[in-house]
Structure 1
């Protein structure tokens, strides 16, 4: 896709854009009268191109991965709790083994919930620390 670089701010814009997406100047006018604007340094254009190539900050990837882990742990917790309920209400396990099986499933459910809770607390604390670093 063809792009046009704004002569005022150096932002890359689509070739068919009427106004710059950054400074909102009329691109047609700006391109016809480039002498009215201070020329943009080539270094600035290269920096903008390099910034556009960066997909995600490593912290954002880490936060997304932790979020997925928390959701997985919560899903496992619900599955174990449902399994415990099912086992306790059916004859799938013998009468004498049922309490141990239900306890084990409820323990796994509680463990998964605890892991997701701990991960959530850690994620919130990390986000707060990251915001303080930015400021």
Structure 2
């Protein structure tokens, strides 16, 4: 764990973390629409098979690479985030998910958390490293 993360990998992972709330909402919306899919009915039976929403979801996930990517990213961020202490979770929440389009500066974060600038940088770096390892970026 003593290696540095390249600038390009850092940016990619940081963007995936920042987009986590939007990606999770999109993924859940797509899964919900697949599970509750109602085809237009004209009153006529469409075959002898019983509708199976779980099978539909599995087929859709296998066919669509975007959904696979969203699922992988959401699960990676959630797994690492849920493994953190509550105080560290707050640092990550404030840093990445307070503003929609940019990360909150460490200087501004000191008012919202009980950590110094250096401690917050270490927490964020470890979080990015762990998410990157789960995603296969580093």
TM class, shorter-length: 0.3 to 0.5
Higher relative CO (Cα under 8 Å, sequence separation at least 6) belongs to 2
Higher strand share: 1
Q: TM-score, normalised by structure 2?
A: 0.33
TM-score, normalising length: structure 1: 0.33
